[in-house]
Structure 1
Amino acid sequence: MPSTNNPAGSGENGGGVRSVQRAFDILSLLTEDRRTLTIREVVDETGLAKTTALRLLQTLEHMGLLWATRKGYAAGPALWRWAHLARHAWELPPETVQLMRELGERHRETVNLYVLRDVHRICIAQQESPQPLRHVVRVGDELPLWSGASSKVLLKDAPARLLARIARSSPHGEEHLATLQEWIAGAARDGYAASHGERDPGLSAVAVPVTGASGATVAALSLSGPTVRFGEERVQEFVADLREAAKRMSDRGFDHPLT
């Protein structure tokens, strides 16, 4: 088993970085629907050798990030500290929460706030639609950037290398790059983006940028729901209200949710 001082078996050849990435890949396999992991699942889904997977699992258990049970490895108690820190670091100010609540009450659709992370967008806040047929994304969920209204808004200033990686990660492959660039240019030109069934059939969304002090896009504010409720006239109503709310968020300062 790796030593405590070098838990991931790091070395000067970059093996330590690879081990850290592999460890986080394992942790990322845990979801709301899958709360325990077997060694076989880790091997099958990461492609790691069984000995390597077992070594990393034991290291993560030793650090308290995983907990061995009879059914497999579950999230460990040490994650509570990280979860506590993250919750407080990304807890939105009351004014922002109120703006999102008012949007949801006026339009009766789900309101989400997303930020960019590598090839994903992360939901950092949500006000759920009160309607029986609605779209729901849990806070903390990571969604792909190769589609969706919020993605088009968030990727405005993305470097070419990142866009290429996002395209490769999509079901369409590298050829999706041209479509991505077209979507992003349209969102930059219009000041908003819409999507209809791009990732999930029957699901639509409208998003606008939230900007920081420098003018750069730091988040995307969106309304989403069933496509049948997102006709063109309704979309324009959503855009007008989203823009007003995003402007108020930007004006109070939004380089970070706590600012």
Structure 2
Amino acid sequence: MDSDQGQGGVRSVRRALDILSLLTEDQPVVPLKTIVEATGLAKTTVVRLVQTLEQAGLLWSTDAGYTAGPGLWRWAHLAHGSWELPPETVKLLRELADRRGETANVMIRRDIHRVCVAQQESPQPLRHVVRVGDELPLWAGASSKVLIGGASDALLTRIALDSPHGVDHVGRLREWAEEAAERGYAVSQGERDIGLTAVAVPLTTSSGVVVASLSLSGPSARITQESVTEFAQDLMQVAGQIMSQGFDHPLGPRG
């Protein structure tokens, strides 16, 4: 009997996902030895998991180790079609990044994290870059302040416990969310990364539900306190153009 059966297979799934997560752009091939060391699992367990992933087409065995299998391409193609921004929205983001000279991001909330689902990089050599698909914490950042609007006390507590500040951070999170809702935009300055400033506004459905954030981020030396209002106004205008297309989630126009 599989030792994971008592947990409904959840632990086995988590272990398999941990193995797949070792594959990155910088490490497209992972040797078996590296998988064992990174997961801390017994070699026999790793071999069994790897063989299962290979049979499902999610891993591919090479002489140098394991790489992404062809089965992942089908999932990647499906995800790309489901999450890709419409061309007109991409154009608006590109124009925004070029106009302001800073990186434009669209993020959504996923539990106690925010996920970057679209980005147009700053045209400047020194710029802030978050890769599409990256998960960032919700306990700090302009986008976080927008995305936690209306969050329950339970969710804010979990977010706070994930932060370096502990449960005492709940009050500040609530203040940030209320301030962002009142002003229509949020600002962060060095809250998570020293020297980084971001300005964010909400993207909402026609019923007013916040489903994503639209932000500009870059070095604090360029996004000064004096320029924040101007950045916010530009962001709100672009957000209005995006929302005028009508959508039920941030990445797909509806109707």
Q: Distance in 2 between matches of 1:101 and 1:22?
A: 38
Residue 5 (structure 1) aligns with: none
Q: Distance in 1 between matches of 2:97 and 2:133?
A: 19
Moved more, 147-156 or 19-28: 19-28
Q: Distance in 1 between matches of 2:32 and 2:156?
A: 34
1:75-90 paired onto structure 2 within 5 Å: 75-90=68-83
Aligned residue identity for 1:102:
E
Residue 134 (structure 1) aligns with: 127
Residue 182 (structure 1) aligns with: 175
Aligned residue identity for 1:118:
D
Residue 72 (structure 1) aligns with: 65
Aligned residue identity for 1:258:
G
Matched, 1:225 2:212: no
Q: What is the TM-score when the length of structure 2 is the normalising length?
A: 0.88
Aligned residue identity for 2:75:
W
Q: Secondary structure at the match of 1:134?
A: coil
Residue 96 (structure 1) aligns with: 89
Residue 209 (structure 2) aligns with: 216
Q: CA deviation at 1:29?
A: 2.8
* 8 Å Cα contact 1:210/1:254 also seen in 2: no
1:105 to 65, 84, 98: 98
Aligned residue identity for 1:101:
R
Matched, 1:241 2:239: no
Q: Distance in 1 between matches of 2:114 and 2:36?
A: 27
Q: What is the TM-score when the length of structure 1 is the normalising length?
A: 0.87
Q: Secondary structure at the match of 2:174?
A: helix
Moved more, 57-66 or 32-41: 32-41
Q: CA deviation at 1:229?
A: 0.9
Q: CA deviation at 1:41?
A: 4.1
Q: Deviations over 1:88-115 (max 9, x none)?
A: 1112112211211221122111111111
Matched, 1:194 2:187: yes
* 8 Å Cα contact 1:218/1:254 also seen in 2: no
Q: Deviations over 1:115-156 (max 9, x none)?
A: 112222221211111111111122222222222111111111
Moved more, 24-33 or 227-236: 24-33
Count of residues in correspondence between the two structures = 252
1:166 to 148, 154, 159: 159
* 8 Å Cα contact 1:191/1:209 also seen in 2: yes
Q: CA deviation at 1:179?
A: 2.8
RMSD: 2.3
Q: Distance in 2 between matches of 1:135 and 1:122?
A: 15
Residue 63 (structure 1) aligns with: 56
Q: Secondary structure at the match of 1:89?
A: helix
Runs (4+) of structure 1 moved beyond 6 Å?
Answer: none
Moved more, 119-128 or 29-38: 29-38
Residue 25 (structure 1) aligns with: 18
Residue 146 (structure 1) aligns with: 139
Q: Secondary structure at the match of 2:151?
A: coil
Structure 1 unmatched runs, 5+: 3-7
